[in-house]
Amino acid sequence: MIKKMLKNLPAMDRILFGLVLIILPLGFLIRIGTKAIQEVNASTLVFTQWWQDELNDDALKRIVSEFEATHPGITIKVEHLSYQKMEDRLLKKGPEETLRSDILAVDLRWLHELIRQDMLKPLNPYLEKTKTLENRVLLPGLQTEDIQESERVWALPVVSFMIPLFYNVEVLQSAGFNRPPKSRADFLHYARTITDSSTGRFGMALALNQGYPDSLYVDVYSWIWAAGGIMLHDGRPNFTSPPVLETLDFLNTLYQEGLLSPDLFVKTRAQKLEEFTQGKIGMMIASVQDIYTLQQEMGDTRFGITTIPDLDMSKKPVFGLTSWYTGISQYSEHQDQAWAFITFLAERSAFLALASHAVPGNWSGTRSLKGDLYVKAYDMYEGGEVMQEFIGLPQIQFLETIVREELYTMFTQGKTPAATAAAIQTRWERTLP
């Protein structure tokens, strides 16, 4: 699956793809040197992030306190924004907005624009000095033709989250099922049996609200990846391939048969979780982060997780993966100190994985989280493959808008899955360079 990612990113006129990202969450090892910067001027660094609300109380404060205790003279000021506000600031308002930040939390979907606008500091000089890079996975990205280096490192990963299928045990049992679905045929049978619109119970929910940044990754792309599909091939759109077409047909069947809970295009992640905990839906796809939330509401035995059903059961399971990365602002006046902080975050990734309830979590693969559901999540991760498409791709947000618009037309206006796939393919081809 990693090989698929390496070849499925786009070429651009007069721009070569040579970005290097270190994919630590995928199980590859990097040893970040623990030696602190010995001589630094007293300075205050601003760390701008959206993670705070997704961590246990005081987790980030504890990390900052530990860093400041071991790095005298450096103070970290934590600036917290919502994901949406941070994305808007970085991608819509431009480089001048990074002047206030030294360290940036980075979503891989932002990389193309951040690099294009020269908002991130390449990390190669630091890596070359510390000689700490081992077993690298190289992913294509951006490099202008007048730069001789063929490898550029722009961000360091901290933690990652896989995306499995969740099922409500009581809802399935009340419908006569004592195990989760294993294939798409199973899934359709379960959804049809569970659904009773007169009582407000449905087989599954999709949350495609545009304000939910991972909505398509979770509720649409996960099905494509589970079927062995990819949406880019040799850097070009691949939306008319058989796995993608079959997935659109599958989702359209769920919608047209009334097996999905209503209002899917305005439904938020929180609303989907609420429907699940209340037994209004039997199944959903969600992040492993949501295990903790559901445990608080339902306990450990009223829900379970499993692999996302494929067309059959002959392939390795594939899971979407989202990750938290950190980078250094090109405009920071304290870049050496910022490097010390982002490597410190990487060194403390096991703690942050625990605080954010992440699987596979930190790059060392340590099983930090306790409980049967987390053990099962690790087992699924180790027995399957993970996928991250679109790294370094331009205009990702617009591409997602195209998919959302065409899905809406398919669901509500009777457009066929084949015509929908063709429309997305054409619009993506016009958008990508």
How many whole angstroms separate alpha carbon 380 and alpha carbon 266? 31
Task: Identify the pLDDT of residue 49.
Answer: 95
User: Alpha helices of 2-122 — where are they, by DSSP H?
Assistant: 2-7, 59-70, 83-88, 111-116
The one-letter code for the residue type at 415 is K
Cβ atoms 159, 362 nearer than 8 A? yes
- Helix pair angle (335-347, 59-70), 10° resolution: 120
pLDDT digit string, tens, across residues 121-168:
999 888 877 654 443 332 333 222 233 344 678 898 899 999 999 999
How many whole angstroms separate alpha carbon 232 and alpha carbon 46? 36
The count of other CB atoms within 10 Å of the CB of residue 265 is 16
Task: Identify the pLDDT of residue 240.
Answer: 96
Where do we find the tokens 């997602």?
400
Cβ atoms 319, 308 nearer than 8 A? yes
In Å, what is the CA distance from 337 to each residue of 36, 327, 341? 9, 12, 6
Task: Identify the pLDDT of residue 97.
Answer: 57
Where do we find the tokens 């659904």?
195
Sign (positive/negative) of CA torsion 9, 212, 283, 240? negative
In this prediction, the residues of the chain whose per-residue pLDDT falls under 50 are 1-40, 132-150
CA within 13 Å, CB half, 170: 12
What is the four-CA torsion angle of 25, 26, 28, 32, rounded to 10 degrees? Answer: -10
Sign (positive/negative) of CA torsion 174, 177, 183, 188? negative
Three-state SS at 361 = strand
Nearest to 154 by CA among 12, 356, 339, 362: 339
The one-letter code for the residue type at 334 is H
How many whole angstroms separate alpha carbon 378 and alpha carbon 375? 5
Task: Identify the pLDDT of residue 13.
Answer: 28
The count of other CB atoms within 10 Å of the CB of residue 14 is 8
Q: Do β-strands 360-361 and 156-163 pair in parallel, antiparallel, or remain unpaired?
A: antiparallel
Cβ atoms 103, 341 nearer than 8 A? yes
How many whole angstroms separate alpha carbon 247 and alpha carbon 249? 5
How many whole angstroms separate alpha carbon 320 and alpha carbon 105? 20
- Helix pair angle (349-356, 335-347), 10° resolution: 60
Strand partners, 237: 232
Cβ atoms 170, 326 nearer than 8 A? no
The count of other CB atoms within 10 Å of the CB of residue 49 is 22
Task: Identify the pLDDT of residue 7.
Answer: 40
The count of other CB atoms within 10 Å of the CB of residue 277 is 17
Six token digits for residue 197:
């619109």
pTM of the predicted structure, to 2 decimals:
0.87
Cβ atoms 318, 1 nearer than 8 A? yes
**Domains assigned to the chain:** 10-160+323-384 (3.40.190.10), 165-306+395-431 (3.40.190.10)
Six token digits for residue 382:
């180790």
Task: Identify the pLDDT of residue 124.
Answer: 87
Could you tell me the maximum CA-CA distance found in the chain, to the nearest angstrom? 70
Where do we find the tokens 């602190």?
36
Task: Identify the pLDDT of residue 175.
Answer: 97
Judged on CB neighbours under 10 Å (0-12, 13-18, 19+), 233 is middle
181: preceding bond cis by omega (within 30 degrees): no
Q: Vertex 377, ends 359 and 181: CA angle to 5°?
A: 140
In Å, what is the CA distance from 230 to each residue of 71, 183, 237, 428? 45, 19, 9, 14
